[in-house]
């Protein structure tokens, strides 16, 4: 059984609408081909852990990165070079309530999801520690695969600056 809870099921409409989804929150999401995810074995969707890394200017679109059990070398190779170095490792010993095994955050791609979808359909699992979150955001910024306009859209530099100023 996966730890966590579905916010949409456990709250009233007014409580659900007042939830603020934070940078660093981890959710379990069901993603589809519409999200750019290829489901396995003929399934309509695929369960993936996601980490919130930013918001668009209006706050309605949330930028998330995917967490996987390994580095996908096939997807990481493209015209911008080797993206495999832009994965950030997360140790299961640091996150025993979230991950059953060591995992990798893919900082080469930010998937857009609506905040309402996250609140209503995704299962909240926990939060990434501030030090790891700083490195995840830095890795997103350093990625030569992730488009600069995407980094700007989700204010990755601003989110990183906030975290680094809180860290001092």
pLDDT tens for each residue of 7-26: 555 555 555 444 558 999 99
Angle between helices 156-167 and 130-142 (to 10 degrees): 150
The whole-number average pLDDT for the span 144-154 is 92
**From CA 126, how far away is CA 24, in angstroms rounded?**
9
pLDDT at 43: 93
pLDDT tens for each residue of 84-133: 789 999 999 999 999 999 999 999 999 999 998 998 899 999 999 999 99
**How do 81-82 and 87-90 pair as beta strands?**
unpaired
Nearest to 33 by CA among 22, 42, 24, 20: 42
Domains of the chain (ranges, CATH numbers): 5-167 (2.30.30.110)
CB 134 within 8 A of CB 160: yes
pLDDT at 71: 83
**pTM (2 d.p.):** 0.85
Give SS3 for 98. Answer: coil
């Amino acid at each position: 059984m996966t730890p966590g809870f579905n916010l949409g099921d456990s709250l009233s409409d007014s409580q659900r609408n007042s939830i603020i989804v934070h940078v660093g929150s981890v959710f379990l999401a069901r993603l589809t081909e519409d999200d750019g995810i290829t489901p396995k074995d003929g399934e309509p969707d695929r369960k993936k852990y996601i980490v919130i890394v930013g918001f668009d200017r209006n706050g309605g679109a949330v930028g998330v990165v995917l967490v996987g059990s390994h580095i996908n070398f096939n997807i990481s190779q493209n015209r911008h070079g080797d993206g495999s170095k832009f994965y950030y490792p997360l140790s299961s010993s640091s996150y025993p309530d979230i991950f059953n095994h060591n995992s990798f955050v893919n900082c080469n791609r930010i998937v857009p999801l609506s905040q309402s979808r996250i609140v209503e359909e995704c299962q909240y699992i926990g939060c990434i520690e501030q030090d790891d979150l700083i490195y995840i955001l830095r890795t997103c910024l350093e990625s030569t695969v992730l488009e600069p306009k995407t980094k700007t859209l989700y204010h990755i530099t601003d989110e990183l600056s906030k975290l680094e100023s809180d860290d001092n």
